Chain A
């Protein structure tokens, strides 16, 4: 698998670091890791950088993860980027809402590197 360019979106800098470390532990070779602390910042990054993968929280100030993905899918260059929601909200309705907004997958916090691997690798191969 080729090295990937990843955007990690979370209002917690600690969680952004943990997600990045988990991706590396999952065996992902990363060419570039970009970070954003809310959906609005993430949209700016996505417009300016080519990306292979996005992992985003849902509950964030300014713009939440659901609205971020909805707006991301309207950007021609970004509409096919795999987006995984990484969040504490794990109810079935939340998962359905995330997938309907345009997310490609869903991971519940707390998560293990194995869970990241299970969800991420198939999306990058697909």
Chain B
């Protein structure tokens, strides 16, 4: 029992898997192709059918002639010959047809007609001649019919309905004649005819199935072979592409290695646990270790022990965020114990599973740079303190003498001490200007912007510089077209700009001249312009007027004072306040210096 169950089980599994295979084959084979193949098979067999019909027809005609039926038999013979010709024509046309695949159903129908005609021509013979024949001839004819019917099986096996039509054409009239002959034996034989017919058709049906699946298999196999070929081609192509990609990766790898090797910056490749796997030549030179001394050890060898805790924290966060960190300053001890300060860019390399597989650290020695910065700062601080302190004494002493609180001084001495004070003041201005420039350029100047009316600012600047104007016997006059307009700017610094422009204008104006100050709206900005009646700016000097230490004529510096830094500071200050500064020639002689600042909404 168990055994049979198992067998059944196996059987069903087997059959179901066979079904699956068949279904797959069905899907793979193109049914149109299978049909076309079957039609081709049928046409290939046609010469046999035509030949058999012709020969059998000739024999039958020869056997049956010589009686009263002679004319009828000859007519039948003509019909058989005509059919043979028609069938041959059909065969020829089919063979020459360029399109056997798409019109296969059409060819099948033609063949069905031909087969029916073939069968019917035999049927005609049976229906017309049988009754009038002698017993021997009847046996001959019956034998002929049976033979022709069975010959049809291999000929039309590729399509059982065609065989069915063909055999029906032969046997149906014969069956009728036998049945109505009036002879009991013939009736019994007649009853056997449909049985034979059914058996033959069944055999043809089975054969058709066999042919069908045979062709289907052939095509499925062809399709499989084709698929296989395409797949192979694709694989081959991918292999070529892969090889090309590998070569490219290798090439860029070599290039990268070369970059790292020749780079002036230290490059270290580290494992996620901080073990050094590779270092470049620059790293060897920078830290004084040979590559072999670093590779395989922890990178902490290059970090001072007291910073190991901080290093671990940074490292952990790097592995967590998996994001590159730039500008990390680390104190790195060299092999000889000297500390270097290096700026590091550290980049974790992440694989497709988002795991860190390596960390690339690129370091630049900035010790010298930091030292230079420190020295510059120190220098600035020295300039600011060590120069100002003695100047305080000098200017203070001269001021006390010149103010008269120390009593009357002889005229010549008083004059000299005035010169001394003025020049000491100039030196102080120069120091202040240099400090200003330094502060602006290092980005350390912080502005304290406020909203203020422009005309108020101009008035304040004129008041502040009145003394300076008096010294050069120059008068300041304001005319405003932007009354009440406000700007958002640092008052102290803007006054510094105005003071520079006004004192320049005063210095370069003729004695007794007037310097006009105008305020106007200029689009979204306010323009403040200082117009002088001086000799204008020499051509050669125009391009570098806002540069450092520039004055048109160095003798002018000595005569009129000034550091040559004033306009450079003005330009930087105005630009810091998001404005612009420039100058134009003034019609009728003189120069106009102007600056524009964005108007504030308040």
Real complex partners, A and B?
Answer: no
List chain B positions with a Cβ less than 8 A from chain A: none
